Structures are given as C-alpha cells and as structure tokens.
Amino acid sequence: MAPSGSRSIDCWRVLYWIPVLFICLIVAWSYYAYVVQLCIETVENTGEKIVYLLLFHGLFIMFGWSYWQTIFTNPMNPLKEFHLSHPDKELLEREDRRESQQEILRRLAKDLPIYTRTMSGAVRYCDHCHLLKPDRCHHCSACNKCILKMDHHCPWVNNCVGFSNYKFFMLFLAYSLLYCLFVTATDLQYFIQFWTKGLPDTQAKFHIMFLFFAASTFSVSLAFLFAYHCWLVCKNRSTLEAFRAPAFEHGTDKNGFSLGINRNFRQVFGDEKKYWPLPVFSSIGDGCSFPTCLVNPDPEQPSLSTVHNTSIKSSEESHPFPSKILRESQNQLLSNGQSEDRVNRGTSNPALTIEKET
C-alpha cells in the first residue's frame, strides 16, 4: 500500500494539469466553432471558406506543435560537474565554520565557468540539489530541481520555462497571438451581422459571437505578454533577472549577459533562419555558460564593448569540463573582432561566504 504522503503528492500533480486541460478545452471548442459553425455553416462564399480554412489550420498546427513542445520538453538540469561528489558533500556538511565551508566551495568552483554570485557576494550553492549553481540557473520549488537559465514556472504549460524550451514558449505565445488575431479578424463581419440581426438566429449565433469575445480578449492579454518577452529576448534577460539583476563580482549588472539585440536574439533562436519559426531546438550554447558583457554599460553599442567569454581555460587535461563549455555556436556570438578574455573568477574573491539560495 502506498503511503498517504505519496498519494497526496500524486493528487497535487494531477491538479497541476487543470490549467493545461482548460486551455485544451478552449482550443478544442474554438476549433469546432470556427471550422464547423463559422466556415461550414455560415460562410457562403466557397473561395472565402477555403482560404479561411487553409490559413486557420496552418496557424492551428503551429500553435499546437509549439504548445506541445513547451509542455513536454524536459527542462535541462546542471551537468554532473556542478554536483558535489559524495565525499565533498560530507566534508561540507561536517564543517561548522563559515570560513572552512567557504574554502571548500571556492576549491570546487575554481575550475567551473561560474561568474554570478548571490547579492551578498557568495558562491551560489543549492542545498536541495547539492550543487554549485551555473550562471542563470535557479532552483524551482514546483519542479524541486535546479533549472538551467530558468525564466519562470508556468502553470499554463505545467512546466518550467528555461533554456531547453524558452524558444518553444516564445513561439507558443507568437502563434497563439496570431491564432486569436486571425479568428477575431475573420469572425468580425459575421459577429456584426448576428449582433445587428442581419443573419437569422441559428445554433451558430452563440458560437460565433462568443468566439469573437473570447478571441479578442485573449488577443489583448497575449499581446502584452508576448511584447514583454520580446523585450526580455532583446535585452537577454530572463523574467527572474528582470525582477532582480544578476550579481557579478563587480556588483549587480542588469545588462551583464546582453550582447546586443541581434546576438541576443540568435542566442535564443539560433543562427539558421529556417529554424526560427519552427518549434525545434536551435538555441545557442549548452545552458551552463553564457558570454557576458562586463565592461560597456550600453550593450547596444558593440563597438565600445568588450565581450568576455564565460568559458575558462581548458589547457589542463585534468579538467575536461571547461573545454566542453564553449561550443562553436558560442564562438560565433563573440565574433566581429571583439576580444575574448578568458577569466577564472572562481578564486578571485577571498571574502566569499556560503549563501544557500533557492
């Protein structure tokens, strides 16, 4: 017999799917209302009907595909190199003095591409997952694990939005907005005709009128949300970083990861334009390290900035991890003649203390 605690957890997990089920029911009804009640039953012009159905199904497929990808793409977690080994974990737990704990974490972090700190200047350590947090990584209390480049936990997709599915989330917002705008625009004339009694009362009247209200309402809310996330992409910030700027050794810097609009966009959507509108993974990097702009206060002036590469030196064969961090795709972000300073910041602050942030 399963313990009562596990049954309670399973019940909560089922409840988490209610918002997703609500969205699916709304979309399913909108499909019936638009295809059957509007296009088949109400629209009389055959050419208009065919155009409406083709465009609608194109948007419907892209919307459903991106929504599926956002929901069922597992968030990426830190690589094993960031996790404390069992001996290191026991050693850290045995130490009571903060100075000794500090020395242990500094020793473990010195060969990892970690540049961000807590607001007090401490190494970012997760006591739930027992790991040193990579830059832009945060612990999600809903998922109960650390998520790479965590943006937020979205109840409407019952998933964490992070490095692995942020592009899918952006496309989900874009296609859902286009879907609602298209339905609103093509339904408008028939909504007016029913409203002014230009068409006889039929079963389609309720569906067409309510479809217009629902699509127009969702369009407004989606437009604001999509515009906000477009701004975040242009600034290369996550939602968490927009509310609290990331802290580096030189202090907080809201533009610390911004490389300019073009490269910020490519970091999320990739270099190949043919993949931009498709919900397939094409983001640049591995989610564990990110190029940073630590000198120029205005990231939109690339000629004045010095871009610092977030990888550390990989010449020592005893530390294979750093050589995997900077991939070819990340090298492209640091092009256009900008200098690539490889700085090992893990040991440069002798006053680091432990702060277990969640």
Task: Tell me the C-alpha to C-alpha distance, in Å, between residue 335 and each of 303, 308, 328.
Answer: 12, 11, 11
- 334's CB contacts (< 8 A; 6+ apart) are 291, 307, 309, 340
Active site residue 129: no
| CA-closest candidate to residue 33, choices 190, 197, 167 | 190
Tell me the C-alpha distance between 40 and 49, whole Å: 7
Tell me the C-alpha distance between 302 and 204, whole Å: 56
Task: Tell me the C-alpha to C-alpha distance, in Å, between residue 271 and each of 163, 242, 288, 329, 330.
Answer: 16, 25, 19, 8, 10
In the three-class reduction of DSSP (H, G, I as helix; E, B as strand; rest coil), residue 343 is classed as coil
| CA-closest candidate to residue 286, choices 94, 159, 137, 106 | 137
| CA-closest candidate to residue 264, choices 312, 229, 296 | 229
Contact 235, 255 (CB under 8 A): yes
Task: Tell me the C-alpha to C-alpha distance, in Å, between residue 3 and each of 6, 10, 142, 143, 277.
Answer: 6, 11, 21, 21, 46
Given the residues 126, 129, 154, 293, select the one marked as catalytic: 154
| CA-closest candidate to residue 82, choices 24, 145, 32 | 145
In the three-class reduction of DSSP (H, G, I as helix; E, B as strand; rest coil), residue 131 is classed as strand
Catalytic residues: 154
